[in-house]
Amino acid sequence: GESVGLHLPTLSVQEGDNSIINCAYSNSASDYFIWYKQESGKGPQFIIDIRSNMDKRQGQRVTVLLNKTVKHLSLQIAATQPGDSAVYFCAENIRGAQKLVFGQGTRLTINP
């Protein structure tokens, strides 16, 4: 197996359960947030995004919650499936900086 990623926070859930992945961001000027999923050997894949004028957005089986008061972002995955196993990243767009700043990443492992 690969040795990279051993320092990543890890979340293990049972197949069929809901998963919640959390992210703290630091810049109060951030106005747009994105969650990405990265599978082994692949690039980050867009999951869902949210603007700072919203506090919740839903997609298919995924929900993003944004709490600007405490600078916290979460990704909820309903009825987790084996294919959801991956590293998940939050990214924040800092207003005026024209760039995304990525969080540390969380490795999600699904137990059968």
Partner 1 sequence: DTAVSQTPKYLVTQMGNDKSIKCEQNLGHDTMYWYKQDSKKFLKIMFSYNNKELIINETVPNRFSPKSPDKAHLNLHINSLELGDSAVYFCASSHRGYQPQHFGDGTRLSIL
Q: Which residues bind partner 1 (CB under 8 A)?
A: 3-5, 7-8, 31-32, 34, 36, 38, 41-46, 49, 51, 87, 89, 93, 98-102, 104-105
C-beta closer to partner 1: residue 4 or 70: 4
Give me the least distance between CB of 76 and partner 1, in Å please.
Answer: 19
C-beta closer to partner 1: residue 54 or 79: 54
Considering only CA atoms, give the Rg of the chain.
14
What distance in Å separates the CA atoms of residue 13 and residue 85, rounded to the nearest whole number?
10
DSSP H helical ranges for 32-92? none
